[in-house]
Amino acid sequence: MTHAAWIDTHCHLDEFIHHGGAAHADAERRRAAQAGVAHCVLPAVEQANFAAVRELAQHHGDSYALGIHPLFTEDAGEDDLAALEHALAQHAGDPHLVAIGEIGLDGFVKELDWERQQQLWRAQLRLARQHDLPVIVHSRHAVDQVLKGLRELPVRGGIAHAFNGSEQQARILVEMGFKLGFGGAATFERAHRIRHLAQVLPLEALVLETDAPDIPPHWLYVTAAERAAGVPPARNSPAELPRIGAVIAELRGMAADELAEASRANACAALPRLQGLLS
């Protein structure tokens, strides 16, 4: 395995606190560092975890983003937006705060209030414009609608997390100043669209991520039959990033170290404040 310094541009490290306490989160981060992960970006998903991602990022020398995830918009009110605006102003000088995120739209979960999602998406884009911050975007089954919002309220770019749209949509996002996040899904041979994008998009368009503890790579995946037999669901880890990166490098026909270096530069281009934390 490569000894390159990898950047995980999307890791919910705070989720490990729920699974095993703060010590468990710290242990996972140390394990990732030993595997070669030099930095993790920790996006918030709701007001309740703003403090957790900030404290973890500061403790480990990582970075964080603040935002309201579309799956959490059902319970988010104006007070949550006010809290986000206050936190962005209060921590504007924190070098570890690198973006607004995870924000966006989700068309997969049909029970969600689409109008409410749209309202919070646009409100958070306005905050990104106000604070001149990039955004970390969730766009599951909603890429066209996300693009519409970005055209109406342009921001300074960012990262399209776990991108699974078309090649045309990918190239539009790149033209808008976004990088596209690739992770564990690209390790599955049946993920034809994602693997095709990982192969054909310009190298400068790619960043790497785990979305840990979610989106496990194929070697951690637990099938429905195994779950029915009592095998616990797989839990992804930022420590898996170098192996995920090696798979994507192989798809592109390049050395893993070369991909690590390029994706690091791309992450800094997408999230400019990263550079100060890595230098």
Q: What are the structural domain ranges in the chain? A: 6-278
Q: What percent of the chain has pLDDT over 90?
A: 91
Confidence check: pLDDT of 57 > 60: yes
Task: Let me know if domain 6-278 sits in CATH 3.20.20.140.
Answer: yes
Give residue 96's Cα distance to chain centre. Answer: 15
Residues at the binding site are 10, 12, 102, 138, 161, 211
Residues 6+ apart with CB under 8 A from 95: 273, 276, 277
Closest listed residue to residue 184, CA positions, set 154, 214, 139: 214
Distances, alpha carbon 207 to alpha carbons 10, 162, 252, 253, in Å: 10, 10, 14, 17
Confidence check: pLDDT of 227 > 90: no
Assess contact for 157 and 207: CB atoms under 8 A: no
Q: 43 pairs with which residues across the strands?
A: 65
Q: Following DSSP, what letter does each residue of 99-147 receive, concatenated?
A: EEEEEE--SS-TTS-HHHHHHHHHHHHHHHHHHT--EEEE-TT-HHHHH
Q: Identify the weakest region by mean pLDDT among 2-16, 110-124, 165-179.
A: 2-16
Q: What is the pLDDT of residues 123-154, one digit of tens each?
A: 999 999 999 999 999 999 999 999 999 999 99
Confidence check: pLDDT of 3 > 70: no
pLDDT band per the 50, 70, 90 thresholds, residue 163: very high
Residues in the chain: 279
Quote the crossing angle between the two packed helices 114-131 and 143-152, to the nearest 10°.
40
Torsions phi, psi for 190 (to 5 deg): -80, -10
pLDDT value at residue 234: 83
pLDDT value at residue 1: 42
Confidence check: pLDDT of 104 > 60: yes
In the chain, where does DSSP find H-type helix? 15-20, 22-35, 50-60, 78-90, 114-131, 143-152, 167-175, 192-200, 224-228, 241-252, 256-270, 274-278
Residues at the binding site for a divalent metal cation are 10, 12, 102, 138, 161, 211
Closest listed residue to residue 213, CA positions, set 22, 17, 63: 17
pLDDT value at residue 61: 97
pLDDT value at residue 2: 43
Closest listed residue to residue 117, CA positions, set 136, 98, 139: 139
Closest listed residue to residue 180, CA positions, set 196, 158, 195: 158
Assess contact for 100 and 133: CB atoms under 8 A: yes
pLDDT value at residue 4: 76
